[in-house]
Chain A
Amino acid sequence: MLIFIATIFLVFKHPTVRIPFTSKYLRIDYGLAPIVGVIILFATLSIGIDTITRGVIGSAGVKPYSVLILIISLSYICVSLDFTGFFEYLSLHVARASRNSGKRLFVYFFLLASFLTLFTNNDIVILTMTLIIFYVCKNAGINPIPFLLAQFFAVNILGMALYIGNPTNIVAADAYGLSFVEFAKWMFLPSVLAAASCLLLIWLVFRRRIPSKFKTPEIGPRLALKNRTGALFGSIVLACTIIFMSLPTSWIGVPIWAIALFFAIVMFLHDVVSYRSSIPAISSRIPWKIVPFLMGFFIIVESLASTGWTDLFASQLSKISGSLITTIFSIGFLASLAAGVMNNHPMTIFFVKAFQSPYFTAHQTARLGSTVALIAGSNFGANFTLMGALAGLMWAKILSDKGHSISFSEFSKYGFLIMPFVLTVACLTLVMELVIWA
């Protein structure tokens, strides 16, 4: 447990250490920190080869290697599409469509962030849209913070809607055995209603800071498009990936990760033919570090399971999981707050392992309720504190580099003001869905 806590600390702190007897430095970033944790556990004989093997190959539904292939394949498709300038092009179109209305701009940016997150990942939406929001706000003389907060909140709420929206969705859904369509059946409506309530609340909070009129800067969206054919091809590949992933596995006969891998290879071959020199640039944008990050945490949590920590946690969870409504609300809020403290990835892996414990004695519907509440918590937790997701720190750093700092406490002030209500809306919708459909 100490190694688990220390690893989470290193993930956030990412210290630089000097390699002894050399002048070289090693940065223990979020990719390396869990591996350091695994090495320490192995060196101290706390875990053996069998635990590492179980952590890599998986057990009871979760197959870490397939989760990672899926995440990297989807990331490649999205990164390649982003590289064509397509998302920047869309954002500029949306900014132009607001036609001098600050209120319209605020709503349009929220909706665009929500829409893009449905089909891509939150890192890409944050990196692309933050730049455009800064550009539009600076030229119009508007404070960008309300727009940026709205964008960040939207990204983390709508990330819950589809199986591919967040890596934590894949981990939790695979553990329970939810398919792409089943996932959307349970999560789409709660995330849409949560997004609507978030938009309403965030509007109420910031309404006085959003001007009704502003001068739209001269915008030429076409200037943002690097490769028109590539953007078209990438959009088609992304659409095909989502469509094929949503088909039942029995129809296609291959697992969902194989579909994503196939389309990523198609995209890669297209990129090789279209712009060979840019392949290293595209490759450098793929979040490769998520591979050792997740793999390391799978192994560390596997070791926690073998020493009884997840069983202990599972028995405590069983106590609060009485009725369906208390299960969903308690796990939804607990997961959100836990994600806010320890990051959503390790939190999800730890909770999933606890749900698989024999000491978690919830009935079948409550088990499904726990899984969907965990998915909600792992996504929404990122809006409570900047530590809730890796994207949070990246987002805050971009803001700081652009001269608009937001502190942990300021972010959490808005998070705790808005998100409890939003999470309540999502949990209530989940309860109603489970009562009607389960």
Chain B
Amino acid sequence: MYKRMLLCVTEATPQEIIQVATKLCSKETEVCVLHIVHLLTDFTQKEVSKEFAWIIDLFKKAELKCSLKVIESTDIGRAIISAAKKNSCDVIVIGTIFRKGLFGFFSESISDYVVKNAPCTVVLIRKAGQLA
């Protein structure tokens, strides 16, 4: 099992992804829930803590060590990779949304960037039927 997990979350992250992440953990796993913001102020810190309290609660219910980390960056992919390296994570768990149409064709995929540049194992999760 993994020792240090980096779980990347956004406001669009569904509960299913958190449930899969908990299944990948053992009692020794330290989970770092990562959210990236454009600007980190007291206001955003407070709002993000409130927004993702449900994720922390889910991990606590599963009796797992978990902490929320908010990072300020405009390059999300690079920020995820650097956070994984800095925390010596051995797995990155990230959700992915299948985007349809022209937007899907032209929009940049952060999960794709993470898969190609991560220094460790990457677990990519897509909720069944989740389309954008």
A131-B44, A400-B12 are known contacts. Are A393 and B132 too (CB-CB below 8 A)?
no
Complex-state Cα separation, A152 to B117, whole angstroms: 33
Among B37, B39, B102, B112, the one with the most A-chain Cβ atoms within 10 Å of its Cβ is B39
Complex-state Cα separation, A376 to B105, whole angstroms: 28
For A79, give the chain B residue with the smallest CB separation. B74
Q: Is B46 an interface residue (CB 8 A)?
A: yes
Interface residues on chain A, size class = 35 or more
Q: Is A284 an interface residue (CB 8 A)?
A: yes
Residues of B within 8 A of A92 (CB): 43
Q: Which one of B12, B101, B117 lies within 8 Å of A408 (CB-CB)? A: B101
Q: Is B85 an interface residue (CB 8 A)?
A: no
Contact with A along B79-121 (1 / 0, CB 8 A): 0000000000000000001011111011110001100110000
B103, A386: Cβ atoms under 8 Å?
yes
Complex-state Cα separation, A131 to B97, whole angstroms: 20
Residues of A within 8 A of B3 (CB): none
Residues of B within 8 A of A4 (CB): none
Q: Which one of A14, A134, A223, A281 lies within 8 Å of B43 (CB-CB)? A: A223
Shortest Cβ distance from residue A62 to the other chain B in the assembled complex, whole angstroms? 29
Residues of A within 8 A of B46 (CB): 223
Complex-state Cα separation, A25 to B11, whole angstroms: 29
Q: Which one of B12, B39, B41, B113 lies within 8 Å of A401 (CB-CB)? A: B12
Shortest Cβ distance from residue B37 to the other chain A in the assembled complex, whole angstroms? 8
B101, A407: Cβ atoms under 8 Å?
yes
For B76, give the chain A residue with the smallest CB separation. A401
A405, B99: Cβ atoms under 8 Å?
yes
B: number of interface residues (CB 8 Å): 31
Q: Is A88 an interface residue (CB 8 A)?
A: yes
Shortest Cβ distance from residue A49 to the other chain B in the assembled complex, whole angstroms? 34
A402-B10, A402-B11, A403-B11 are known contacts. Are A88 and B39 too (CB-CB below 8 A)?
yes
Complex-state Cα separation, A127 to B46, whole angstroms: 18
Complex-state Cα separation, A416 to B41, whole angstroms: 38
A13, B105: Cβ atoms under 8 Å?
yes
Residues of B within 8 A of A409 (CB): 101-102
Complex-state Cα separation, A224 to B106, whole angstroms: 33
A128, B108: Cβ atoms under 8 Å?
no
Residues of B within 8 A of A170 (CB): none
Residues of B within 8 A of A209 (CB): none
Shortest Cβ distance from residue A243 to the other chain B in the assembled complex, whole angstroms? 27
Residues in B3-32 with C-beta less than 8 Å from chain A: 10-12
10 of the cross-chain contacts (CB-CB < 8 Å) are A27-B113, A127-B39, A223-B46, A225-B41, A226-B39, A226-B41, A402-B12, A405-B99, A407-B103, A409-B101
Question: Can you add 11 more A-B contacts, CB < 8 Å, to A134-B11, A402-B11, A407-B102?
Answer: A13-B105, A13-B106, A82-B39, A88-B43, A221-B43, A223-B41, A226-B39, A284-B74, A401-B12, A403-B12, A405-B97
Chain A interface (Cβ within 8 Å of chain B)? 12-14, 16, 25, 27, 82-83, 85, 88, 92, 127-128, 131, 134-135, 220-221, 223-226, 281, 284-285, 386-387, 393, 396-397, 400-403, 405-409
Task: Enumerate the 8 nearest inter-chain pairs by beta-carbon distance, A residue then B residue, closest first.
Answer: A403-B12, A405-B132, A223-B43, A408-B102, A224-B43, A223-B42, A402-B11, A25-B116
